[in-house]
Amino acid sequence: MVALIDAEQAPILARPYYAGEGPPSPITASLAHVPEVLEATLPFVGRILGPTAIDLRAKEIVILRTSALMECRYCVEAHTTVALDSGLSVGEVCALRGEREVEAVFTNRDELALISWVDEVALGRGAAPEDITARAREVMGDPELVEMTLVVAATLMLNRYCSALGLPTSAATLARLAEEGLA
């Protein structure tokens, strides 16, 4: 759909985002077409989806669940491996991907409330129903609720971006998925 810019053609302001080992992610390599947008987007996404006061396991529940609801192939594949690395089991990953019943796998009250909140934010229209909001408020204070809601919103943005542009999953991710039986 769009050309991915390699390191040789990376604009000057995009080069710091190419500095890691291996090729840049397709998100970086596509955003590099517009360096001023890349400069704003990648720190924003990194801050919201990366380490904060909320632990990575909870964030990956949100990201993977949202991506599965939005049927974003790229994000589901990429975050399946991240979720496994964040401590989620294969069964939990399958449940978040919609391949198993969530309630059959997740038993923690906080995580079940979080998944309900994610489902509502990602798929709902208008204000959230009172019962789902109340359930979320029982397990999340204002800071957590704000941040988790923003994680869903940022993931939705990336889901549409990656799906619409048909970004390719890296060979390394595909190999890992095959190895885990999650391809």
Partner 1 sequence: MTAMAGAIARGEVGGRLWFYANYHCNLRCTYCLTESAPEVTRRELGREQIVERAREGRELGFTALGVTGGEPFVLEYMPELIAALGSELPTIVLSNATVFNDRRLREMEPLADLPVQVQISLDRPDPDDNDAMRGPENFRKVVEAVPKLVERGIGVRIATTLEDPDAADPHEMERLCDLHRSMGIPDEDHVVRPIISRGRAMSNDMGVLAGFEQLEPELTLTADGAFYSPFAPTVRGGELDTDLLVSRTTKPVREPAEMLARIAGSRPAGNDASIGIR
Question: Where on the chain is the footprint of partner 1 (CB under 8 A)?
Answer: 5, 8-13, 32-37
Q: Is the Cβ of residue 5 or residue 84 nearer to partner 1 in the bound state?
A: 5
Q: Cβ closer to partner 1: 11 or 23? A: 11
Place of tokens 């992610």: 25
5-41 burial, b at 16+ Cβ within 10 Å, e below that, comes to beeeebeeebeebbeeeeebbbbbbbbbeebeebbeb
- Choice between 34 and 178, CB closer to partner 1: 34
Q: 9 or 89: whose CB is closer to partner 1?
A: 9
Tokens of residue 107, six digits? 């038993």
Minimum distance from residue 38 beta carbon to partner 1 (Å): 10
Nearest distance from residue 115's CB to partner 1, in Å? Answer: 39
Any residues with CB less than 8 A from the CB of 113 and at least 6 apart, and which?
A: 135, 136, 138, 139, 140
Say which DSSP state 23 is in.
S
Rounded-to-integer distance, Cα 6 and Cα 23, Å: 8
Q: Dihedral (C-alpha) 127, 132, 138, 140: value to the nearest 10 degrees? A: -60
CB of 163 to partner 1, least distance (A): 23
Nearest distance from C-beta of residue 41 to partner 1, angstroms: 13
For the CB of residue 119, give the shortest distance to partner 1 in the complex, in Å. Answer: 37
Burial class (CB in 10 A: 0-12, 13-18, 19+), 165: middle
Nearer to partner 1, 5 or 156 (CB): 5
